[in-house]
Amino acid sequence: MDRQAGLTLTLGLNFGTHDAAAAIVHNGTVAAAVEEERLNRIKNTKVFPERAIQACLDLVGARADDLDQVALFVDPKLHLLLAPSNLRHGTPASIGSLLSDLDKYRKRRRLPATIRSSGLLPKNLPLIPVPHHRAHAASAYHVSPFEDALVVTLDGRGEYETAVIFEGIDGQLIRRHHITYPHSFGYLYSALTRYLGFRPQSDEYKVMGLAAYGSDTYTERLAQLAKFDADTGRLRLDLRYFDHHRRPSRNRTLCSPALTELLGPSRNPGDEITDRHRDIAHALQSLHERLVGAYIAHAQRLMPRRTLCLAGGVALNCVANAAIINSGRFDQVFIQPAAGDAGTSIGAALIAGASKERLPLHNAFLGPAFGIDAIEKALSSLPAGRYEVRRTTDPHQEAARLLHAEQVIGWFQGRMEFGPRALGARSILASPRSPETAVRINAMIKQREAFRPFAPAVLAECADEYFDLSPAGALVYPYMLATAPVRPERRNEIPAVVHMDGSARVQTIGQETNPHLWRLVREFKRLSGLPVVLNTSFNGADEPIVCTPQDAVRTFSRCGLDALVIGPFVVRQRLKEAIELPCS
């Protein structure tokens, strides 16, 4: 790799916890970032991200020997504080988890040995541990456009902290306040996610979507679960209702029997979702927004700032993010698009590879791209005679014509996104004009719950015509990380992307920052008059978003999509009745 002398090439890693990932930072610039799940096809994988490391090296044209250092998403020494923190705040119930908490420290101590024994990286490569919440904070602040900002991180747990307030000033992060385990915004939401029959630390977004269908029936009861002290900035869970602090990890269910006494029996996975479950989800979301909003307000009282950076898994809650954006407290908000633990690989690398330059992140397309040869090889695996494969000079126009004909397509172009949202490189796209389209995608293609909403991808220059957007969210909306009301007079035009409460998880598309999707939607607007398309992630049920052409072809062939537009190729089933596309 050719690079200027004195500039550092830093590898950042997250593994041993959910969302294993790797990132490479070169002189303050995030050059590559890849989640391991996209490559090993195991959702939320925890394994050492060997494939992601190699993909990042390939993206920057480097070998492992070219690296200057490795940054780790956690400081193993700080895990020693987990046990005393849990004992202090959770006694007497937490006494039973002492050995389990100490075992977490031992596991974290082994992370450096795992790196050195991997065989992928030089054994003498300097290894820099970065405290977990500092890595989260850096992943947002150091790629934001702000020199001076309030920086808040919220998740389940780092080493022992669960939320931290930083002052970001002149490229430095100064810790000003923190909340410690077992009191946690993230564990509160995860426990109720488990109670409602979904997977904690994975399906919280399902509960967020379900909440729109509920009423206030359980709001007062759920308010008993947690309190916030505005004077001290401390969150306090009523630990009677939880068991994450109690027993060894293998025996924990997150919810205690007292929770079922308060709310009734928990839902088992696969059981019917009733009005009671909808109401509990609604009450949880309301409580979550109130508590997070109170913590943000406390942070602003500590450090009066009009710019805010957010990171941590809790910052993926789009409805709570919208409440913060619309609160009037901030002129501008920035949220790391990979706000969960995958993003700590970026933050750790940015801290370890400290540079005087801070370069804002303009898009999240940080993963691999694939050329014609790789795409043709993948297409050659399709059964002979079953599919029509055609090369086109304008895939954006072809895709727009398919959408205008009410076809649902797989869209595979350019570098893959980093983070949990498909932003137009690995997406399933459809016209937003018919509510039946959303029903079909949920039931037949994605095979997921009917209450789950879809996002509208809208040309940035037309966004205000369709959505009530706040100027404070301008840096957030491109990453599909906040909801906004759909303007009432427009809801009948785009019903497939309007949620139960009249909102939508908006993605604004800029010509310079998202050129492939922008060109497609501009062409769709020319044909249909609508500057909006339905955008959801290109994956089947319970699998990661596709990464390679092989992934795209495999998922297309089994998911019931009408067409696949991959690079310059358009693929359709021959067995389907020919569709007359509108003339351009």
Tens of pLDDT, residues 207-238: 999 999 999 999 999 999 999 999 999 999 99
Non-local (6+) Cβ contacts of 206 within 8 A are 193, 198, 449, 452
Q: What is the pLDDT of residue 488?
A: 98
Q: What is the pLDDT of residue 1?
A: 53
Q: What is the pLDDT of residue 578?
A: 46
How buried is residue 257: exposed, middle or buried, by Cβ count under 10 Å (0-12/13-18/19+)?
A: exposed
Average pLDDT over residues 130-143: 98
Average pLDDT over residues 303-318: 98
Q: What is the pLDDT of residue 584?
A: 35
Pairing type for strands 127-129 and 234-237 reads: unpaired
pTM score above 0.85: yes
The token duo for 11 is 């590898």
Helix (H, G, I), strand (E, B) or coil at 580: coil
Q: What is the pLDDT of residue 385?
A: 86
Non-local (6+) Cβ contacts of 260 within 8 A are 266
Average pLDDT over residues 18-43: 96
Q: What is the pLDDT of residue 248?
A: 77
Stretch (H or E) spanning 536: strand 532-537
Q: How far is CA 170 from the centre of its chain?
A: 27
Q: What is the pLDDT of residue 356?
A: 62
CA distance 148 to 555: 44
Average pLDDT over residues 188-194: 98
Question: How many Cβ atoms sit within 10 Å of the Cβ of residue 327?
Answer: 16
Q: What is the pLDDT of residue 445?
A: 85
CA distance 295 to 301: 10
Whole-number Cα distances in Å, 64 to 57, 117, 369: 7, 14, 20
Overall residue count recorded for the chain in this entry: 584
Whole-number Cα distances in Å, 98 to 17, 241, 247: 20, 19, 8
Q: What is the pLDDT of residues 537-581, one digit of tens each?
A: 999 988 999 999 999 999 999 999 999 999 999 999 885 544 444
DSSP classification of residue 112? H
Read off the pLDDT band of 2 (50, 70, 90): low
pLDDT for 127 beyond 60 = yes
Q: What is the pLDDT of residue 334?
A: 98
pLDDT for 22 beyond 60 = yes
Whole-number Cα distances in Å, 189 to 141, 198, 238: 25, 11, 13
Q: What is the pLDDT of residue 7?
A: 61
- Helix runs in 61-201, H state only: 82-90, 98-109, 111-116, 132-141, 185-195
Q: What is the pLDDT of residue 5?
A: 47
pLDDT for 177 beyond 80 = yes
Pairing type for strands 409-412 and 563-566 reads: parallel
The token duo for 429 is 């796209």
Average pLDDT over residues 389-407: 98
How buried is residue 168: exposed, middle or buried, by Cβ count under 10 Å (0-12/13-18/19+)?
A: buried
Q: What is the pLDDT of residues 439-460, one digit of tens each?
A: 999 988 888 898 999 999 999 9
Average pLDDT over residues 522-526: 98
Q: What is the pLDDT of residues 480-490, one digit of tens each?
A: 999 999 999 99
Which residue type is seen at 64?
Answer: A
Q: What is the pLDDT of residue 583?
A: 37
Mean pLDDT value across the chain: 95
Q: What is the pLDDT of residue 67?
A: 97
Which residue type is seen at 297?
Answer: A
CA nearest to 514, candidates 574, 424, 380, 417: 424
Structural domains of the chain, with CATH: 9-139+343-352 (3.30.420.40), 154-335 (3.30.420.40), 372-573 (3.90.870.20)
